[in-house]
Structure 1
Amino acid sequence: MAATDFKDYYKILGVSITATPEEIKRAYRKLARKYHPDLNPNDKTAEARFKEINEAHEVLSDPEKRQKYDQFGQYWQQAAAGVPPTGDFGQGDFGQYSSFDDFINELLGRFGSRGGNRSGNRRVYTYRTTTPSGVQDFAGFSGFDDAFGGFSEMPAQDTEATIGLTFSEAFHGTQKRLQIGDATITVRIPPGAKPGSRIRVKGKGQISPFSQQRGDLYLTIELLPHAFFQFQGEDLVCEVPIRPDEAVLGAKIEVPTPDGKVTLTVPPGVDSGQTLRLRGKGWRDSKGKRSDLMVKLKIVTPKSLAANERECYEKLHHLSTFNPRQTLTEVRL
């Protein structure tokens, strides 16, 4: 990668190099909502910015990728893949390595381990060097075989990315066109996707430069905020306003659900903030089974009254014996 191609992911997200994972996540969500293509239709600039934001988040939200990015700068992808840089070393501090072996060990995360075995979930590779020690000799290598002397194993690499969906797209399912390198692919999102759920796209990850095998792409779902619905565990929650007389006498009201309006029976004497449950009217899963919709009631008073309405309220005021503050008479310090 040329120095002019280097992207400052911290600058793209508007955070400092010391930003915490929580600060990075907050910055990403704010920018993703602002530049999401669904909110900026036919805006190529916003679309390009959205892709850039996702790319920056993919790297900085992954501790291992972020460590490589911070250490090797514009050559972080070569470092993550175990490929030595050539020419200008840019931001990487390569003077810390006393030998070629030390440099390769750092790139592969081996730290002196030997043998083509597995250590936990981490692959360890056997290699032999065929050139004298010294990082300065990289520019003279004719290819990967010269540089590494032959690897016993190099797996395909999976790729992680985040995709933002509207509530409607996630509930009903949708198809999204994604740019993977120079290729455009269509990804089917099944109905019922939830925040944090992951979708596997086989064979669309990074390509191993040695085996030429390609890993998988894993997409983590994030939902754009909705003006009415929110998640509460597996269920959905919403807030519905009712009149004072509906709260006192009870009523039948219409309540929106993800797939249309239904009638909710409000029992007499409900309080503001009380929650009623609509069973089977919440979110769906991949098999079509529905969670519940929790409806929080909010008593709303009218700000202006017609003459006959005011007369009725005044009459009620004089006739009512109900004292909602009766329990407060005994309150003392």
Structure 2
Amino acid sequence: MSANGYRDYFKVLGIERSADADAVKRSFRKLARQYHPDVNPGDSTAEAKFKEISEAYEVLSDPDKRRRYEQFGQYWSQAGGGAGGAPGFDVDFGRYGNFDDFINDLLGRFGGAQGGSGFGAGPGGFGFSGGFPGGFPSGFGGPATGRSGTLNLDAEATISLTFAEAFRGCERTLAVNEERVQVRIPAGVRSGSRLRLKGKGNLQPGTGRRGDLYLNLQLQDHPIWRLDGDQLRADLPLSLDELALGGEVRVATPDGEATVQVPPGVALGRSLRLKGKGWPVKDGRGDLLLSLTLKLPEHFSDTERQLLEKLREARSVDPRREWMRAAQL
């Protein structure tokens, strides 16, 4: 503030005098979060700075006040017929549950919250993606105002789950509006599954009304298992002799090791079905399908190479005879 009491509100917000309404709002939100007393407990300097930027925003966010401020400077309020001096700004921070309760109330008082959706949130509140090993950042995701003017207090977030977490079910502890919420994720969820936590969404200041929290679940890829409807799929690598001669083969399943019978001379791409060993479903478990593939070693031993040479000499069938005949045009 200058010696004559004049505050340059543009400098206070760190913006150019040509800044539009969106730039004013962006700068205010950034500075408000930086200097908010909850972020700087006991810091009187930060609280004074917070009140100063809030005062600047109150003036520059109002088209009429801004016009008079730009025209008359420190005498802008008298020029409009109002009381002399700069606008008063006194905040009782204790009446707000968290920062976004305050910021949405503040933007509403200043006429800047119409159609807003909180800090970084999409329509519906929490606008995050990815996993939250420690829960949601506290206080993020303000309520959105729809076209009808009805305040939507519901919040939404995406949680990333490992294949094991989705298969067995798990618990997550989330921090929602400074409240720790324990969430039980049932076994067998899939990408796109949606959980609703009633009464855990955004809180409307002054009314006690609270929306619901919707959790969108996404499964991370697994190097072996693939989910296909109720069935769990995987490729099963077999050696040349296992494909040719068949026999018992030890395999992995989500429940541990098992033994399957491979028919002799089985074709590549065929699937072996293990009933009830697949993905958890409402009435039990789906099936596990193992697609047979050929796994050749990078290098054959001398003995293996000699045996393969003998096999080539003793081969009784041309594998391409029918293929060559059918390929002729």
Identify the TM-score tier after normalising by the shorter chain: 0.5 to 0.7
> Alignment partner of 2:215: what SS?
strand
Q: Would you say the 8 A contact 2:230–2:281 is kept in 1?
A: no
Tell me the residue number matched to 2:119: none
> Is 1:267 paired with 2:263?
yes
1:109 to 118, 129, 147: 147
Task: Give the letter for the 1:222 counterpart.
Answer: Q
Q: Deviations over 1:218-266 (max 9, x none)?
A: 2121111111101112211101110111111112112211121111111
Tell me the residue number matched to 2:184: 188
Determine which structure has more spread, i.e. the larger CA radius of gyration. Answer: 2
Tell me the residue number matched to 2:300: 305
Q: Would you say the 8 A contact 2:107–2:113 is kept in 1?
A: no
> Alignment partner of 1:85: what SS?
helix
> Alignment partner of 2:158: what SS?
strand
> Alignment partner of 1:277: what SS?
strand
> Is 1:165 paired with 2:161?
yes
2: distance between equivalents of 1:224 and 1:307?
Answer: 42
Tell me the residue number matched to 2:310: 315
> Is 1:249 paired with 2:245?
yes
Q: Would you say the 8 A contact 1:253–1:266 is kept in 2?
A: yes
Q: Cα RMSD between the aligned structures?
A: 3.2
1:224 to 198, 207, 220: 220
Tell me the residue number matched to 1:41: none
Count of aligned pairs between the two proteins: 207
Residue 88 (structure 1) shift: 8.4
Q: Deviations over 1:193-230 (max 9, x none)?
A: 22211222121012234642212212121111111101
Trace 1:8-23 onto structure 2 (pairs within 5 A).
Answer: none
Residue 6 (structure 1) shift: 5.0
Give the gaps of 5 or more residues in structure 2: 1-24, 32-99, 117-143
Tell me the residue number matched to 1:296: 291
2: distance between equivalents of 1:190 and 1:3?
Answer: 43
Q: Would you say the 8 A contact 1:271–1:299 is kept in 2?
A: no
Q: Would you say the 8 A contact 1:201–1:217 is kept in 2?
A: yes
Tell me the residue number matched to 1:85: 108
2: distance between equivalents of 1:311 and 1:3?
Answer: 76
Tell me the residue number matched to 1:50: none
1: distance between equivalents of 2:247 and 2:298?
Answer: 21
Residue 322 (structure 1) shift: 1.9
Q: Would you say the 8 A contact 2:198–2:213 is kept in 1?
A: yes
Residues 309 and 204 (structure 1), Cα distance of their counterparts in 2 relative to 1, 3 Å cut = same
1: distance between equivalents of 2:251 and 2:180?
Answer: 40
Residues 324 and 297 (structure 1), Cα distance of their counterparts in 2 relative to 1, 3 Å cut = same
Task: Give the letter for the 1:159 counterpart.
Answer: A
Task: Give the letter for the 1:3 counterpart.
Answer: S
Q: Would you say the 8 A contact 1:191–1:286 is kept in 2?
A: no
1:240 to 219, 222, 236: 236
Q: Would you say the 8 A contact 1:161–1:220 is kept in 2?
A: yes
2: distance between equivalents of 1:250 and 1:172?
Answer: 33
Residue 182 (structure 1) shift: 2.2
Residue 84 (structure 1) shift: 5.9
Residues 244 and 4 (structure 1), Cα distance of their counterparts in 2 relative to 1, 3 Å cut = farther
Q: Would you say the 8 A contact 1:277–1:293 is kept in 2?
A: yes
Q: Percent identity?
A: 37
Tell me the residue number matched to 2:36: none
2: distance between equivalents of 1:92 and 1:290?
Answer: 46
Task: Give the letter for the 2:294 counterpart.
Answer: I
Q: Would you say the 8 A contact 1:281–1:290 is kept in 2?
A: yes
Task: Give the letter for the 1:218 counterpart.
Answer: Y
Residues 85 and 91 (structure 1), Cα distance of their counterparts in 2 relative to 1, 3 Å cut = closer
Residue 301 (structure 1) shift: 2.1
Give the gaps of 5 or more residues in structure 1: 8-76, 94-105, 111-123, 126-153
